[in-house]
Amino acid sequence: MKPPPFDYLAPSSLEEALDVLAEKGGEAKLLAGGQSLVPVLNFRLAQPALLVDLNRIAELDYIDVDEAGAVRIGAMTRQRALERDPRIAASAPLLAETMPLIAHPQIRNRGTIGGSLAHADPAGELPVAAVALDGEIVLRGRRGERTVAAADFFVGLMTTAMTEDEMLCELRLPATPKRTGWSFREIARRHGDYAHAGVAARMTLADDGTIARARLVYLSAGEVPLSATAATGVLDGGAPCEELFAEAASTARGEVDPSDDIHATAEFKKHLAEVLTRRALAAAWERARAAQR
């Protein structure tokens, strides 16, 4: 249970870190909060020759909210900082609601938003929230910068669109549209454990009170955060009510694809996904109506 030997560098600027990545690429691993990487090293599931510690790069730790309410978050921002920031609560309330569901305070004090997104664990809450919020991920490397929609960033099990010489630098969230409600619901065995099932729901109402656009994204429902497009197809344009939510939830049950594990069967997780969808939609609708007034 001790990590294998490695060399260690702690650059103090982004430029320096990108130089190291350009040179060492495949041999190097970036170290953010270490809350996923260090267990992997301790179990010797990975043996990188070099660890590049990002913790001394102050320029990657920021939360920026513009006048319209669009949010930009630096990769090294701690999960705990997001949980506590009143600007996040005001401008990205779904994200604020997500944070306490992630592990425990001791983990969130170290874990970063960039690390959670880069780790791309389908059981993680942050990838799901980033997709549900129509987030964009900014990647940088020596060859330049590019922006990838969160929905396209997660390409497979713990696999992203990032190349070896690129680094995740920022998460961007567009301003929340008016008359929008949200909810993140999950069921875990204990508070802070990885959840059996979970869903991020968003709902924007049109002027006449019908649903202009709904979003349902699930954790642990496949290899990547799963957007239930058939279920949101049921909702879009409809008049919100419990029957419609129930129909969308049973449609979503057919879309999620969880697997059996020692704690719960896939069938049980599908059942949870359906129940959570109904609850999340009801809560999101309630908040969307409150936002209308």
Partner 1 sequence: MSRHSVSTEVNGRLYEREVDARLLLSDFLRHELGLTGTHVGCEHGVCGACTVLLDGEPVRSCLIFAVQADGRKLATVEGLASSPDELHPLQQAFRDAHGLQCGFCTAGILMTMVPFLEENPAPTETQVREALSGNLCRCTGYQHIVDAVLLAAERRA
Ligand X SMILES: Cc1cc2nc3c(=O)[nH]c(=O)nc-3n(C[C@H](O)[C@H](O)[C@H](O)COP(=O)(O)OP(=O)(O)OC[C@H]3O[C@@H](n4cnc5c(N)ncnc54)[C@H](O)[C@@H]3O)c2cc1C
Total chain residues near ligand X (CB under 6 A): 28
111 binds ligand X (CB under 6 A): yes
Q: x/- binding map, residues 124-153, to ligand X, per CB under 6 A?
A: xxx---------------------------
CB 24 within 8 A of CB 50: yes
Select 56 or 72, whichever has its Cβ closest to partner 1.
Answer: 56
Rule CB under 8 A: choose which of 29, 110, 213, 271 binds partner 1: 110
Kindly give, in sequence order, each residue whose CB lies less than 8 Å from that of residue 192, ignoring residues fewer than 6 positions away.
101, 102, 103, 104, 107
Planar angle of CA 231, 209, 172, nearest 5 degrees: 60
Among 86, 191, 262, 293, binds partner 1 (CB under 8 A): 191
C-alpha 58/C-alpha 61 separation (Å) is: 6
What x-and-dash track marks residues 86-105 binding partner 1 by CB under 8 A?
-----------------xxx
Is 225:217 a contact under the CB 8 Å cutoff? yes
Does 174 bind partner 1 (CB under 8 A)? Our answer is: no
Tokens at residue 274, please? 């359906």
Residue 167 binds ligand X, judged by CB under 6 A: yes
3-state secondary structure of 204: strand
Question: Residue 55: which of partner 1, ligand X, none does it interact with, CB under 5 to 8 A by kind?
Answer: partner 1
- What does each C-alpha distance from 108 to 79, 105, 178 come to in angstroms? 5, 5, 30
Tell me if 185 contacts partner 1 by CB under 8 A: no
Q: Which of 44, 156, 33 is nearest to 105 (CA)?
A: 33
Which residues in this chain contact partner 1 in the complex, by CB under 8 A? 1-8, 10, 34-35, 38-39, 41-43, 51, 53, 55, 80, 103-107, 109-110, 190-193
Which residues in this chain contact ligand X in the complex, by CB under 6 A? 29-37, 39, 75, 102-103, 107, 110-112, 114-116, 118-119, 124-126, 167-168, 194
